Structure 1
């Protein structure tokens, strides 16, 4: 019986586990090896780690965690959760079972990208969602923002601080007069012709045959939990402007007693920095729940 089972061993899950093992609690981390930013190279905007490869940051964190004797790390996929507070059972894809007093879902999100040929292959390398993570490296060049919904106009306005922006509506939105005025105020140009495909590094080929060259592209994917486990266990979900996430309270407790959630799957907006902070807070709150289970 472990004190805590963490499902998801990316940045938030590891940050939570670190607080717990430093409190000398027995923690099992179960990780399927599918970090959300696995498609990206360098990670930017994370204090002390700016420009370091995302995979290297994760690998270093894991090595540091595994130095603690109360940490168990399992590479594998959890497929079912049963039981309740103080007596949870997590079933693995290979049939093994693990038992814990508390559960933490740190499973991250899956990005549902616009269905444009060539876009998915460039996700994380020349097509992005976060300008704080990737905008600076575009060197104030031409930037395309591909619309996915009403919030995309806001994204186009914001990204204009990083370069000269074209807002590609792609049939997803029809900006009203107020939105057009706001975009014009940020010197954002509008392109209403639908997109045929993405070529080269970040070239947009339109349905009318024109090719627009960009230093990089931004879009706002619809996000959903990358694992169905929390929903299947009965955790309440909620819709946000960025997609679906697990609902938690200020202590990162879900709607189920003894079950917590943190990171991208339980907060917005999303970045490595924010995921680590959220995980650290969740770890402290999990420790508190073990100390004072009736509080």
Structure 2
């Protein structure tokens, strides 16, 4: 960070951010990754469904990613971004929480989401262990165990029906839900889901393992796994301050992005869970890669067009021509001083 000027600043060091930084570093771009060290999947012991990395601990996966970036001269700091401010010339000043600031031609936001959990005592403490959300992430590891499912608000039966693929012993706890449409009762019955009415007051735990779900009336239902539908809340502070457009989703607002994950703010991309609630690790990495390739090409063509315009205006000196030729040959083109 000696001259504090970068082609791209990546905010967030999860799978999406590191993937974007990797492809940009391999494109000989100067990149800074600013990471607060709060990955969404930190509570999980392992991550699944990522080809060649299935079962790898999340911390180990991210550590390996950071080591790979070192090969390409990418800078990284453990910090937060306090603000991203347009500089009036199509680029940005990125203010860090430690009081410093850097310049960025483009910004990638990979800030992810925060999971809001049901306010049932014990759920937050066991999150990512035997209180789970995604059966694609954890279903195989807990297959054929006794599943419980907390009914979400507003209610839909999707999660309770889905987890029957991994266990036929599934109990849905309706909590505050009082009436279900006949069609919902029929589907749950056809799937073999037991339905229990009544508010849930807490979890039963023995020897650091879930053993049951306790209702407010004192009844306890033996369960060893509990699925809950968390509410993923996007960390949208930076995008909101920039005036980004948002769209409504079933779980709340997320930024509008195009197929390359470009937001409605020129020069700013949002990748991974910062762009949508359903991005698993492998999807997030793919989003970062795609954004990185588009950003590199955009910067390259912008610089070439700038030099072309200068040539046409007669401002292209032999020295400047030699310099741009050198940079093009090296795969890296920057605007030259006039």
TM-score, normalized by the shorter chain, greater than 0.5: yes
**Per-residue deviation, 1:231:** 1.4
Alpha carbon RMSD of aligned pairs, Å? Answer: 1.8
**Per-residue deviation, 1:199:** 2.5
Structure 2 length normalisation: TM-score? 0.83
**Which of the numbers 160, 169, 172 marks the counterpart of 1:167?**
172
**Per-residue deviation, 1:115:** 0.6
Matched, 1:82 2:85: yes
Matched, 1:2 2:11: no
Matched, 1:105 2:105: no
Within a 5 Å distance, the mapping from 1:1-295 to structure 2 comes to 1-69=5-73, 71-84=74-87, 86-150=90-154, 152-163=156-167, 164-172=169-177, 174-200=179-205, 201-202=209-210, 203-226=212-235, 228-293=237-302
**Per-residue deviation, 1:173:** 6.8
Decide whether the 8 Å contact of 2:232 with 2:277 is kept in 1: no
1:51-71, CA deviations, whole angstroms, 9 ceiling, x for partnerless residues?
1111101111111112212x1
Relative to structure 1, the CA distance from residue 148 to residue 17 in structure 2 (aligned partners, 3 Å threshold; closer, same or farther) is same
Once superposed, which parts of structure 1, at least 4 consecutive aligned residues long, lie more than 4 Å away? Answer: none
Instruction: Tell me how far apart the structure 1 counterparts of residues 249 and 197 of structure 2 sit (CA, whole Å).
Output: 27
Structure 1 length normalisation: TM-score? 0.94
Q: Which structure is higher in RCO with an 8 Å CA cutoff and minimum separation 6?
A: 1
Decide whether the 8 Å contact of 1:220 with 1:242 is kept in 2: no
SS of match in other structure, 1:120: coil
Decide whether the 8 Å contact of 1:146 with 1:152 is kept in 2: no
Q: Which has the higher strand share?
A: 1
Which of the pair has more CA radius of gyration? Answer: 2
Instruction: Tell me how far apart the structure 1 counterparts of residues 277 and 302 of structure 2 sit (CA, whole Å).
Output: 28
Relative to structure 1, the CA distance from residue 292 to residue 199 in structure 2 (aligned partners, 3 Å threshold; closer, same or farther) is farther
- Which piece of structure 1 moves more, 213-222 or 31-40? 213-222
Unaligned runs of 5+ in 1: none
SS of match in other structure, 1:122: coil
Unaligned runs of 5+ in 2: 306-338
